[in-house]
């Protein structure tokens, strides 16, 4: 990816996106990704620090905002390998004829794209346009798109109508994403998204969180649900330390490698 020196706003948006996916970023890594000099990145970080968006560190920057995250399009273009790995793992949980609820997010959209031609005879209820578009070409899959108020930033619909609509259905599995996962449980930046996630979890027999390991131990604005309310966590790398202990104590099944299922008990 390459940006001209004059596209400061674009560069700074990429920096914010990277910080949403990783607790800190290094100037040298950002310079390589953006195709500019390290000095240009340092100037961007200094300006963003003055604006209160990030905190400058030696050799890079860390994020500050618990209540902000990049838009869907920016998130969808990052951490592609991790999300693809998660999608391949999650597909193994689905069997023909299942009813799924899939919430709006970049990781769940990657899952839907992988799911489209992998499992037949599904019914998928979603509030995410990208999920619906990914599954629509599969004629053997029924796609039910929720009503609600559309958010261009999140690429989905939200609000009381969305939750009331979901309350009419039952599902075999709910697949949700989150901005972070801590000892308390999954959390998210968007309150409206949290309500939809909770409703999907409530209506499903199996409750699965799709989350990249870069989001482990990251806190954001609002808790979606307690850790023990999840039945499954699908990720591309094993959690360690206190988070691993908490998942085990909560009885959550970890799905980490295609050929390995590690189940907490």
Name the residue among 69, 76, 62, 71 with its Cα closest to residue 30: 62
Helical axes 8-21 vs 27-34, angle rounded to 10°: 130
Mean pLDDT for the stretch of residues 94-116: 94
Query: Tokens in use for 52?
Result: 């209160």
Task: Please tell me the predicted confidence (pLDDT) of residue 49.
Answer: 73
Residue 138 pLDDT class (50, 70, 90 cuts)? confident
Q: In this predicted model, what pLDDT tens digit does every residue of 48-94 receive, in sequence order?
A: 777 656 656 666 655 545 445 555 455 544 556 788 899 999 999 99
Task: Please tell me the predicted confidence (pLDDT) of residue 31.
Answer: 85
Please give the domain boundaries of the chain with CATH numbers for all domains: 8-63 (1.10.10.10), 73-263 (3.40.50.1360)
Least confident stretch, 33-37, 73-77, 101-105, 115-119:
73-77
**Is 129:156 a contact under the CB 8 Å cutoff?**
yes
Task: Please tell me the predicted confidence (pLDDT) of residue 175.
Answer: 98
Task: Please tell me the predicted confidence (pLDDT) of residue 64.
Answer: 47
Residue 15 pLDDT class (50, 70, 90 cuts)? confident
Mean pLDDT for the stretch of residues 116-126: 93
Mean pLDDT for the stretch of residues 187-199: 94
Query: Tokens in use for 190?
Result: 């968007």
Name the residue among 171, 67, 175 with its Cα closest to residue 123: 171
């Amino acid at each position: 990816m390459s940006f001209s020196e004059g596209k400061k706003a674009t560069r700074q948006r990429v920096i914010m996106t990277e910080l949403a996916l990783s607790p800190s970023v290094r100037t040298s890594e950002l310079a390589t990704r953006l195709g500019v000099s390290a000095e240009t990145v340092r100037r961007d970080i200094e300006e963003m620090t003055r604006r209160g968006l990030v905190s400058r560190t030696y050799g890079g920057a860390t994020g500050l905002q618990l209540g902000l995250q990049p838009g869907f399009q920016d998130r969808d273009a990052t951490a592609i390998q991790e999300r693809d790995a998660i999608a391949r793992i999650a597909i193994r949980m689905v069997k023909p004829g299942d009813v799924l609820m899939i919430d709006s997010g970049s990781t769940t959209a990657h899952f839907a794209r992988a799911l489209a031609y992998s499992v037949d005879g599904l019914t998928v209820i979603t509030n995410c346009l990208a999920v619906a578009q990914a599954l629509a070409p599969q004629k053997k899959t029924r796609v039910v798109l929720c009503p609600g108020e559309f958010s261009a930033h999140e690429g989905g619909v939200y609000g009381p109508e969305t939750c009331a609509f979901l309350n009419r259905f039952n599902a075999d599995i709910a697949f949700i994403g989150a901005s972070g996962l801590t000892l308390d449980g999954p959390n998210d930046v968007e309150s409206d998204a949290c309500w939809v996630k909770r409703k999907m979890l409530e209506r499903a027999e199996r409750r699965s969180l799709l989350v990249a390991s870069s989001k482990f131990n990251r806190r954001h604005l609002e808790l979606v649900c307690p850790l023990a309310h999840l039945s499954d966590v699908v990720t591309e790398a094993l959690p360690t330390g206190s988070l691993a202990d908490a998942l085990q104590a909560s009885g959550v099944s970890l799905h980490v490698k295609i050929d390995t299922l590690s189940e907490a008990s």
